[in-house]
Amino acid sequence: MPAIPSFAAMPDENGFFGAYGGQFVPPHLKQIMDGINAAYDEIRQREDFQQELASLFADYVGRPSPIFHARRLSEQLGGAQIHLKREDLNHTGAHKINHCLGEALLARFMGKKRVIAETGAGQHGVALATACALVGIPCEIHMGQVDIEKEHPNVTKMKILGCKLVAVTRGAATLKEAVDSAFEEYLKDPEGTIYAIGSVVGPHPFPRMVRDFQSIIGREARAQFQQKHQRLPDYVTACVGGGSNAIGMFTAFLEDEAVHLVGVEPAGEGLEKPGRHSATLSKGHPGQLHGMACYVLEDAQGQPAAVHSIASGLDYPGVGPQHSYLKDTGRVQYDVASDAETLDAFITLSRVEGIIPALESAHAVAWAIRTAPTLSANQHILVNLSGRGDKDADYVAARLGL
């Protein structure tokens, strides 16, 4: 299997998925982005790059990740069969390593002297610091002071991995300020540096590139499922923050019209409570954010809204342009799961199958748990288990008084 297949159709040469995507950035930055796109177009077709990425996926990440049939859970629910694509078993514990390795290899290919990024909960920071250690490129991660205090294990890991951690103290000192700070630093030397975006968001070519690197998930899963069951699943589901694990899973199934694709957004404390959810596709409107056209959650002043989710990896007021397009075309259905349902799913999967999921992934598990009883025992739901829940264990235990 080539490390990166060719997706001829989307996006177009200007980075648009229908009305979404593009490059809403100043002209000098557009030039830089076009340079990254050209370098990516070159590297993705090179045999040596394909081979290096494929062998890192196999020997470093531990791919292919297995598909596990959650038999006990399926039996208890008394409906469809639930299967889990185990991205939680990857090195560093989630799907993010897939695109971080790709971005680090691209940085090396382009002769960049430094990789820079922001991180919220620290998951992207750890995956990127890991990839940069492996490839041998200096890495600088900007993180809000508030998040630094909350996410101690990830902060420690980033330091051990040798990245430069920049504490951002301005404003609310969380993800948004970290993005602003990292971006300002990037703009000081966009020739020598590459900004490694953590999801399928931002200006073209990032939504395309990150999707391509993540598409290994769905290509593996589709072949594995075929081989095991001589058919395809009826439903394929994944949680959606920026949308990288979901698009990585869905891409291989887009042409399979009989397969229902369902993205699950965080309903947080309720869709009727502005600022207390992060369901961009369900409650937002087309707009612009971080250099792209996409669905956006906005407040009354037209600014990006405050957002919330029990899973910090999902609280983003925008979403990938391809998801915005797939929603409008109806090819993917977007549903939600609340904090409470997610917490239930987290505990249920832990206790019935012995798998502690990331709170992000538990949103997709919650959707499967809700939906399976409405289907029959010969129907199949494939869930992308995007990451493991070690990072969330203390929080959940404290919240539930365990």
Number of helices (H) and strands (E) in the chain: give both, helices first: 16, 14
DSSP strand E in 202-253: where? Answer: 235-239
Residues 6+ away with beta carbon under 8 Å from 127: 92, 94, 96, 97, 100
When asked if residue 154 is in the footprint of ligand PLP (CB under 6 A), the reply is no
The interface region with ligand PLP, picked from 106-114, 133-141, 180-188, 234-242 by CB under 6 A, is 234-242
Longest CA–CA separation in the chain, Å: 58
| Catalytic site residue from 87, 118, 220, 353 | 118
Cβ atoms within 10 Å, residue 400: 10
Stretch of residues binding ligand PLP (CB under 6 A), selected from 101-109, 175-183, 233-241, 272-280 = 233-241
Nearer to ligand PLP, 21 or 242 (CB): 242
Residue 176 identity (one-letter amino acid): K
Site for ligand PLP contains 317 (CB under 6 A): no
> Least distance in Å: CB of 157 to ligand PLP?
13
Q: Are 244 and 320 in contact (CB under 8 A)?
A: yes
Number of residues that bind ligand PLP (CB under 6 A): 18
Q: Which residue is nearest to ligand PLP (CB)?
A: 387
Interface residue with ligand PLP, options 144, 205, 233, 242 (CB under 6 A): 242
The stretches of 232-372 forming alpha helices (DSSP H) are 244-250, 280-283, 321-329, 339-353, 359-371
Q: Which of 32, 104, 240, 336 binds ligand PLP (CB under 6 A)?
A: 240
Which is the catalytic residue, given 65, 74, 85, 96?
96
Shortest reach from residue 327's CB to ligand PLP, in Å: 14
Active site residue 118: yes
At 269, list the tokens.
Answer: 């404390």
Catalytic site residue from 244, 278, 386, 391? 386
Give the CA angle between residues 303, 304, 307 to the nearest 5°.
Answer: 135
Binding string, residues 162-201; x marks residues near ligand PLP by CB under 6 A? -------------------------------------x--
Per the CB < 8 A criterion, the answer to whether 267 and 276 are in contact is no
And the tokens for 294? 């996409």
Stretch that binds ligand PLP, among 13-21, 55-63, 242-250, 334-342 (CB under 6 A): 242-250
- Of 190 and 293, which has the nearer Cβ to ligand PLP? 293
Token pair in block for residue 344: 């239930």
> Per rule CB under 6 A, is residue 309 in the interface with ligand PLP?
no
Site for ligand PLP in 96-115 (CB under 6 A): 96
Residues from 323 through 362 that contact ligand PLP (CB under 6 A): 358, 360-361
Q: Are 198 and 122 in contact (CB under 8 A)?
A: no
Nearer to ligand PLP, 202 or 387 (CB): 387
- For ligand PLP, the closer of residues 112 and 124 by Cβ is 124
Token pair 């294990």 in the structure block, residue = 153
In 3D, which of 177, 87, 101 has the Cα closest to residue 139? 101
Which CB sits closer to ligand PLP, 241 or 304? 241
In the complex, what is the shortest distance from the CB of residue 231 to ligand PLP, in angstroms, rounded to a whole number?
27
CB of 250 to ligand PLP, least distance (A): 11
Query: Three-state SS for 399?
Result: helix
CB closer to ligand PLP, 49 vs 261:
261
Using the rule CB under 6 A, is 261 a contact of ligand PLP?
no
Question: What are the residues whose beta carbons fall under 8 Å from the beta carbon of 288, sequence distance 6 or more?
Answer: 24, 294, 296
What letter represents residue 124's amino acid?
Answer: H
* Least distance in angstroms from the C-beta of 272 to ligand PLP: 23
Q: The tokens 């557009």 sit on which residue? A: 30
Task: Give whichever of 94 and 368 is closer to ligand PLP, judged by the CB atom.
Answer: 94
Residues with Cβ within 8 Å of 358's Cβ and at least 6 positions away in sequence, in order, are 88, 93, 94, 311, 313, 386, 387, 388, 389, 391, 392
Binding site for ligand PLP (CB under 6 A): 94, 96, 123, 199, 239-245, 313-314, 358, 360-361, 386-387
Catalytic residues: 96, 118, 386
